[in-house]
Amino acid sequence: MRHPRLTIFTKTLDGAANLARVLPQYREVADELVVAIDSATRDDSPDIARKYADRVFTFPHGCAIGGGDKPRSLFFEHLFPHCSGDWILQLDHDETLSPHWNDRTFVDALLSDRFVTHVFLPRRWALPGEHQYIASRHWYPNFGMRLFRNLPSLLHIHEDLHGSNQMAGEARHEVDAFIIHWLFAWTSRQERLARVAQYAKRSEYSAHEFYLYENQPFTALPLLESHPDANFKPAYPPSSDPRFRAAIQVLRAPENIFAGETEGALIAIHNGSDRVLKPDSAMVQTFGFSICQQWQSLNGAAAGKPLEAERWPLPRRIHPGETARSWIRLQAAVPPGRYRIQLDLIDEGVAWFSSHVEMPVISVEVLSRPADIIWYPDLCRSATV
């Protein structure tokens, strides 16, 4: 039986040095490699691309970023005719892939899921020295819809550079198969300032808090670290409703979160019920299962009732007896203080799973933002910071 074919594509503007670094790995992973060259390129990017790529094409300058009279959808109109794979993996020319992508058995299993039309991949921002990544705050897991079926009619392109593209159908959120972003290791701060200034001119959002990591607090971990696996065998009360037998194990969670910001938490979900827990199918069908969280203040008598916070999609279909890991986002839209976060699953419009089985609690301290952090509030108007 033919395995699903994977097209990897990357785009570049005067990125010859980066292409020489990344294309050899792409070539090893891809069934088809496509490189898009910005028409304003003046270096030898086309020559380097032709050494590795199956197809190299040129697109109009500015349309990959969007804004003004150059919609981003124009770039994808140029791209799709050059891609013949069943799936397309979109990578920037300063990104590489985790070792999981060199395991063809893993890749085939990922691409053979008939229910899924698109996959969100986490991204690790590598620090200078190339041995660590930023594993906290907005930098991680930094999911993006980078892998999608080659079905242009199902894809909706957001015209703002940092807006989220959407695809009809069921999504999957990967934990292990991450992208490594080498921007900090391969560019100077001045180059990053120039990039942010360019984005600010063409986009509603400059992304400066991502690109200018200096003078900001973060946690660093080994670049290729493996995330913990689930290790639990839940026992469900015999009297519990078989439809709501599920358990959550917290594998990694923050102790502190800055007020108004987010941190990722890694959990495992065991489905002990008699039905498949399904994520929503975007623009097609709502299944109603979500991961959710309720925050409650522990600051004395004025704790108040729990605050229901953001829901998070299931990472994939979880069949009876299966366990799946998932990143969720803990968003501290609350005043500083100590909080109790009740994790839960919900069958929307039917019941909370915690009404039938025990669900875990995370304790976090929400901190005020330090006064010495540089937040660059005026960067959209100036690149002289």
Tell me if 343 sits within 8 A of 308, measured CB to CB: no
- What is the arithmetic mean of pLDDT over 331-339? 91
DSSP 8-state code for residue 285: B
CATH of 227-367, one of 3.40.50.720, 2.30.30.180, 3.30.1520.10, 2.60.40.10: 2.60.40.10
Between the alpha carbon of residue 48 and those of residues 25, 38, 53, the distances in Å are: 14, 14, 9
- In this predicted structure, the answer to whether residue 253 has a pLDDT above a threshold of 70 is yes
What is the per-residue pLDDT for 378? 45
DSSP 8-state code for residue 26: H
What is the per-residue pLDDT for 81? 95
pLDDT tens digits, one per residue of 111-132: 999 999 999 999 999 999 989 9
Spatial distance between the Cα atoms of 380 and 365, rounded to a whole number of angstroms = 32
Tell me if 127 sits within 8 A of 185, measured CB to CB: yes
- What is the arithmetic mean of pLDDT over 256-274? 96
Spatial distance between the Cα atoms of 229 and 342, rounded to a whole number of angstroms = 21
What is the per-residue pLDDT for 159? 82
Spatial distance between the Cα atoms of 208 and 204, rounded to a whole number of angstroms = 12
Of 373 and 315, more confident: 315
Tell me if 51 sits within 8 A of 27, measured CB to CB: no
- What is the arithmetic mean of pLDDT over 41-67? 93
DSSP 8-state code for residue 357: S
Closest CA to 340 of 309, 293, 296: 296
Residues facing 239 on adjacent strands: none
Spatial distance between the Cα atoms of 116 and 313, rounded to a whole number of angstroms = 14
What is the per-residue pLDDT for 70? 80
pLDDT tens digits, one per residue of 197-228: 888 777 767 788 899 998 889 999 999 999 99
Of 87 and 206, more confident: 87
Please list the residue range(s) of the chain that carry CATH number 3.90.550.10.
6-211
- What is the arithmetic mean of pLDDT over 306-310? 80
Confidence of residue 383 (pLDDT cuts 50, 70, 90): very low
Please list the residue range(s) of the chain that carry CATH number 2.60.40.10.
227-367
pLDDT tens digits, one per residue of 274-301: 999 999 998 888 888 999 999 999 875 4
DSSP 8-state code for residue 369: P
**Token pair of 347 as six digits:** 């069958």
Give the DSSP H or E segment for 181.
strand 179-181
- What is the arithmetic mean of pLDDT over 75-104? 96
Query: How does the average pLDDT of the chain come out, rounded?
Result: 90
The 3-state DSSP class for residue 279 equals: coil
What's the farthest any 2 CA atoms get from each other in the chain? 71
Spatial distance between the Cα atoms of 224 and 244, rounded to a whole number of angstroms = 36
What is the per-residue pLDDT for 233? 87
Topology annotation, domain 6-211: Spore Coat Polysaccharide Biosynthesis Protein SpsA; Chain A (3.90.550)
Spatial distance between the Cα atoms of 226 and 222, rounded to a whole number of angstroms = 9
Radius of gyration (Cα) for the chain, nearest Å?
22
pLDDT tens digits, one per residue of 135-189: 999 999 999 999 999 999 999 988 877 778 899 999 999 999 999 999 999 999 9
What is the per-residue pLDDT for 220? 97
Q: What percent of the chain has pLDDT over 90?
A: 75
Confidence of residue 381 (pLDDT cuts 50, 70, 90): very low
- What is the arithmetic mean of pLDDT over 351-356? 95
pTM, 2 dp? 0.93
What is the per-residue pLDDT for 209? 87
Closest CA to 351 of 230, 185, 240: 240
Spatial distance between the Cα atoms of 63 and 66, rounded to a whole number of angstroms = 5
- In this predicted structure, the answer to whether residue 379 has a pLDDT above a threshold of 50 is no
